[in-house]
Structure 1
Amino acid sequence: METTADRNITTVLQLSAFTQYFFPFGNFIFPAILWSLKKDQSKFVDFNGRQAINFQLSVLLYTLFLGLVAVPVIIYAVLNGIEMNFVTPAKWDFNIQNMAGIVATTGILGLTFLGLKVTEFFLIIYASVKNSNGENFKYPLTINFIK
């Protein structure tokens, strides 16, 4: 049975990931501070703090991957419509086929990013509810950076 203080700390630790919307990298800094202050005093706080930090690092990695996929594809789609002739000035061949690639890629990756952020939001809420009830929570699809 976990103490009320431990449950409250882990709940706040989970919810502190929402500071990313107010402070840059707040979703890493605040959970890491809370976890490092209390990890030696409670195994419950240690386990759930590691889970929260690992989840935030995993979401960052997934977001960076989406960006690394999106940028070259969009650059290719844009440059595909420009005539690369150094004798005459370049002109933009504006047609719907060039724009369709950009719109489709941006739309798919944008929806994937939106899905990732919505999933992150609900998983943080779910983890905080589980922690407030004294239950451990293991985030799905999380890479264990901190073991």
Structure 2
Amino acid sequence: MTKKYNQNMTGNHKTEVELSPRELPMNVKIVAMFNHMLALSVPLLNIIVTLLYWLFVRRQSTFADYSGKQSLNFQITFVLYLLGAILIWVAAGLIHQQIPSMVTIIIGNTAIISIFASLIVFWITVMIAGYKTVSGKKFKYPLAIQFLK
């Protein structure tokens, strides 16, 4: 459930009304969607940009808070997976310099292919998350480690 703040009849103070994500106003959905879309900003700075944005908007609604946490969890997880693939690629290259073999060539090439494939999957997954979020649905990224709960 997400909280929306409405002014009461007198206009003096705000009251909380519980809404499902589908009933949210479009501006709340767009704010939540930007949590996901910022992942496509400058590589490696995207985590910092998304973190700053999430810290700024997380109190506007629980839907924006949830979307920001999911986006940050996915971005951090993706960077860890990407670093792992890069380390495997570098290790295969170093080993191949010492002991040339077809196995190290295959491992290195597989690591490079997985890096490029994961970048494509990252982009597509973020686009799907943005679409689902602006549609008012909560999106949970697959294979993302839940650092923020």
Q: Does 1:58 align with 2:77?
A: yes
Q: Is the 8 A contact 1:13 1:30 kept in 2?
A: no
Of the two structures, which has the highest relative contact order with CA contacts closer than 8 Å and spacing of 6 or more? 1
* Aligned match of 1:7: 29
Of 119, 125, 128, the match for 1:126: 128
C-alpha distance in structure 2 between counterparts of 1:61 and 1:26, whole Å = 14
Task: Give the structure with the higher percent helix.
Answer: 1
Cα distance in structure 2, aligned partners of 1:136 and 1:128: 10
Q: Which residue of 2 aligns with 1:36?
A: 55
- Per-residue CA distance 1:20-60 (angstroms, 9 max, x = gap): 24xxx221122112211111220000001000000000000
| Structure 2 residues not aligned, in runs of 5+ | 1-22
RMSD of aligned alpha carbons: 1.5
Moved more, 111-120 or 49-58: 111-120
Shift of residue 69, structure 1, vs aligned partner: 2.0
Look up the match of 1:19. Answer: 41
SS in 2 for 1:37: helix
- Secondary structure in 2 matching 1:20: coil
Tell me, in whole angstroms, the C-alpha distance in 2 between the residues paired with 1:135 and 1:72.
42
Work out which of the two has the higher radius of gyration on C-alpha atoms and give 1 or 2: 1
Aligned-partner SS, 2:41: helix
Q: Percent identity?
A: 23
Deviation at 1:9, TM superposition (A): 0.9
State how many pairs are aligned: 127
Deviation digits for residues 98-117 of structure 1 (CA, Å, limit 9, x no counterpart): 36344322210011111111
- Code of the aligned partner of 1:10: A
Taking structure 1 as the reference length, the TM-score comes to: 0.80
